Amino acid sequence: MSGPQDSAASEARDSGSAVRSDTDSSPAADDAANGQAEPDGAPGGAAASSEDQGSGSADGPGGPPTGRRRKRKQRSFWRELPILVAIALLFAVLIKTFAIQAFYIPSGSMENTLEINDRVLVNKMIYHIRDIHRGDIVVFNGDGSWDPGTVPVAGNIFQQFGQGFASMFGFGHPGDILIKRVIGIPGDRVACCDAQGRVTVNGVPLNEGTYLYPGSAPSLSRFNIVVPPGRLWVMGDNRYYSADSRDHMGDPGGGTIPESAVVGRAFVIIWPASRWRFLPIPATFEQPALNGSHAAASSGAAVAAGNDLVSARAEPTGQTVPLVLGFAGAVPLTWLQRRVRTRIARRRRRGPKV
């Protein structure tokens, strides 16, 4: 006839070593906890043996084998890599098309502000936020701006994205990209020269010594023009060596370029490292009198410039900058979505809380 003590001992053997207590226990319970069960294959011994085998091959209680986990991580990495590359490429196209693009300078007509082989970053978004200002260094498409032809039109965002995507792989026509400084905006009367040989805007002389090439005169040719609506008067900083608005006064627009042809504003030199600096608007363009009045429409004669002048061109660089920026944005985004998916998977494995 079995008593309560016999029943308790039977329950202890059935539970095996999976249940342990931090308090004192009987010798029989200790033997069961150490896996020393009866030799006839009692349930307690079988449970202990099974647990020992599982704990030797797992990273933790109930975890998968280490080798299997490593393989799973490797497979997960290769599965994530195409997603990372696709997101980075998408970001690169978006950044290059709508935000920032790098250009290098192949000529000396903007010296010493920009020297040959300088690399500059161009902000393509700024003129969606504010108007073009006097003194800005702008990159623009010369196709149709001065030479006879159709004035370039940016198109809608889908067309721009398609053009940007094609250019990432060397397709499409980038156009005749030029870089100059804005001297006159719509409605300004730009003239040269006053009694001191200075360029004037709305009758206010510009003190250009801070950015003109050393020893360069503001202009050797004389002009007097009112900038038409929607157009800009632009000039290079190396006036002896720059073919700019002064040399296209016989073209449609009287030498001005359309605002729609502007790609963006050059705002920083990024290479070489010794030349790194921002490109602010010179103080002379901050004179309040420049906005005091706009002259009435009239024009003066212009003196033809020499044949040795060149336009200040800006050539697009390779895809390094947009790709680097694309990966910089794609890596944290990919890491975040992977972290979210991992947490969701862990919650599913744990099941609902009781």
Tokens 């060149």, located at residue: 310
| Given 96, 180, 242, 245, the catalytic residue | 180
Of the candidates 155, 159, 138, 172, the residue with the CA atom closest to the CA atom of residue 258: 138
**192 versus 44: which is more confidently predicted?**
192
With 0-12 CB in 10 A as exposed, 13-18 as middle and 19+ as buried, what is 346? exposed
Give the model's pLDDT for residue 93: 79
* Residues in Cβ contact with 111 at an 8 Å cutoff, skipping those fewer than 6 apart: 213, 237, 238, 241
Respond yes or no: is residue 17 known to be catalytic.
no
pLDDT in tens, 60-93: 455 555 666 665 555 566 777 787 778 878 887 7
pLDDT in tens, 107-125: 899 999 999 999 999 999 9
Confidence band of 270 (pLDDT split at 50, 70, 90):
very high
Token output for 100: 């920032």
Give the model's pLDDT for residue 190: 97
Token output for 238: 């190396």
Q: What is the pTM of this model?
A: 0.63
Residue 215: how many CB atoms within 10 A of its CB? 6
Superfamily of domain 105-317: Umud Fragment, subunit A (2.10.109.10)
Respond yes or no: is residue 180 known to be catalytic.
yes
**Residues 242 and 271: beta-carbon distance below 8 Å:** no
| Given 17, 96, 107, 109, the catalytic residue | 109
265 vs 93: CA distance, rounded Å: 19
299 vs 80: CA distance, rounded Å: 64
Q: How many CA atoms, within 13 angstroms, populate the side-chain half-sphere of residue 89?
A: 11
Give the model's pLDDT for residue 348: 77
252 vs 153: CA distance, rounded Å: 17
**49 versus 302: which is more confidently predicted?**
49
With 0-12 CB in 10 A as exposed, 13-18 as middle and 19+ as buried, what is 133? middle
Beta strands in 4-141 (DSSP E): 100-104, 119-123, 137-141
Domain residue extents for the chain: 74-103+319-349, 105-317
Does the N-terminal peptide bond of residue 193 adopt cis geometry, omega within 30 degrees of 0? yes
Task: Give how far the C-alpha of residue 279 lies from the chain's centroid of Cα atoms, to the nearest Å.
Answer: 19
With 0-12 CB in 10 A as exposed, 13-18 as middle and 19+ as buried, what is 345? exposed
Does the N-terminal peptide bond of residue 272 adopt cis geometry, omega within 30 degrees of 0? yes
